[in-house]
Homo-oligomer: A and B are copies of this chain.
Amino acid sequence: MAEEKKAVKEITSMEQDFAQWYTDIVRKAELCDYTSVKGCMVIQPAGYAIWERIQSLLDQRFKATGVKNCYMPLFIPESLLDKEKDHVEGFAPEVAWVTQGGLEPLQERLCVRPTSETLFCDYYAKHVHSYRDLPQVLNQWCSVVRWEKTTRPFLRSREFLWQEGHTVHATEEEAQARTEQMLNLYADFCEQELAIPVVRGQKTDKEKFAGAVATYTIESLMHDGKALQSGTSHNFGDGFARAFGMQFQDKDNSLKYMHQTSWGMTTRMIGALIMVHGDDSGLKMPPHIAPVQVTIVPVAMHKEGVLERAKALAAELRAAGVRVNVDDTDRRPGFKFAECEMRGVPLRIELGPKDIEAGSCVLVRRDNGEKSEAALQGIAATVSDMLETIQKAMFERAKQHRDTHTYDVTTMEEFAETVKNRPGFVRAMWCGDQACEDKIKEETGATSRCIPFAQEKLADRCVCCGKPAKKMVYWGVAY
């Protein structure tokens, strides 16, 4: 077992150095790698397969609500980006500029899209004329570029993959309903598919998106107690519409401005999967999102009939809709086991000559290490049930961790002490003033994560200034 141990040993323990543990997992599970282009990553096949699963499941949920996909240009002319004041102020400092096309300098600089509100505005202004053309509910899957100074695999890179939905509506109410619908869609997706519990709420004005009237967010908690903004949905009101002249003729023949939303989720969710579920042996993929749900490892593979039986078993599981592979490489089983663990395969099946003779196999769960025997007769149902059990158990474990790392505080001393000694979400009352938000950040290091939809009254007064409290807020140190 020397080589196998070594493969595992190369990972830093998460308790010892969480940041290094994260980097080690990314590298050892071959999820992504930096390139000679500073801050840009190669998403390797094992990482990209996770993204393909996210895309597939999220896209199905989108389409069930009437979303249609499209593709907008990569480039935004500077004059178009400049049209909405808050938006350009928010993004201009971190965009990449194309100044030359072919052998000639461009007459106007083009920025590589950091987000595509301005392009969709341009499109809707041109294509929507009447209330009959509304709503428009479009989305695109693409990469965007933000020239970040410090970068981390999946969590913050100069280029990342995402989807961005952009909608326009005839009324304020309809836009608000779509904004909330998409936030809830993200939340359900995270909880049901990624097994990541989230807090749903609204961003404070300080933390909202550049140009939005209101930004809604789902916030999740990583294993180290830091928060991760996991998906956002914005209501723009008619601000962009006024800047871009996006008007339509309503039923009463009057010209009105459209109401607009946008919403996005990114490859950083791969980072969330690592940091919510992983352990010192590697990734743990929730079965719904796992590119490979089951790996069959034949034991004493070269004995007659073993590999054949393993392949027949794989075919049986595949026919039942299970994503399964057989590790028939010429390596010792211990090495294969370690690799399954590193890649986070939810269920491992060991099958040797004795098992075959006994009509059974050994199932090993990645989430809790539990080993059990199962009859080969009816194995597809056993495995499908167990995958669902694992999915639920992973969500419950993550939720328990989140709940036991959520602390209510009512004084600034408690607040600072909690952030310092007990990493997690901090819940505290707030008066609504940005001055207190700034002071909390300065004194504790925590930022406001969201004003949760599910409000509770923890105290009457703002934790910071002591004035009457308006809202209970989730705070935390965030990625």
Contacts and interface: CB of A to CB of B under 8 A. Distances in A.
Contacts of A94: 102
Interface in A44-82: 44-45, 47-49, 51-52, 68-77, 80
A35 B123 CA distance: 8
Q: Which 7 A-B pairs have the closest CB atoms?
A: A40-B73, A102-B147, A45-B68, A43-B71, A97-B100, A101-B147, A99-B99
A2 interface: no
Count of chain copies: 2
Contacts of A48: 68-71
Interface residues of A, number: 54
A82 B468 CA distance: 64
B42 A73 contact: yes
Given A33-B127, A45-B68, A51-B71, 11 more contacts: A33-B123, A35-B123, A37-B77, A44-B70, A45-B69, A49-B69, A74-B145, A75-B96, A96-B101, A98-B99, A101-B158
Given A94-B102, A100-B96, A143-B142, A122 B35 contact: yes
A28 B36 CA distance: 45
A93 interface: yes
A477 interface: no
Nearest to A142: B143
Contacts of A93: 102-103
Interface in A147-162: 147, 149, 158-159, 161
A73 B35 contact: yes
Nearest to A74: B159
Contacts of A98: 96-99, 112
29 contacts: A35-B122, A36-B77, A36-B122, A37-B77, A37-B110, A40-B74, A42-B72, A42-B73, A42-B119, A42-B123, A43-B71, A48-B69, A49-B68, A71-B143, A74-B74, A74-B112, A75-B159, A93-B102, A94-B102, A96-B110, A97-B98, A97-B99, A97-B101, A98-B98, A101-B147, A102-B147, A102-B149, A112-B112, A142-B143
A41 interface: yes
A128 interface: no
A14 interface: no
Nearest to A71: B43
Interface in A191-207: none
A376 interface: no
A356 interface: no
A138 interface: yes
Nearest to A146: B102
A115 to B, nearest CB: 15
A74 B74 CA distance: 10
A465 interface: no
A138 B44 CA distance: 9
A73 B159 contact: yes
A37 B95 CA distance: 17
A156 to B, nearest CB: 14
Interface string A15-42: 0000000000000000001011100111
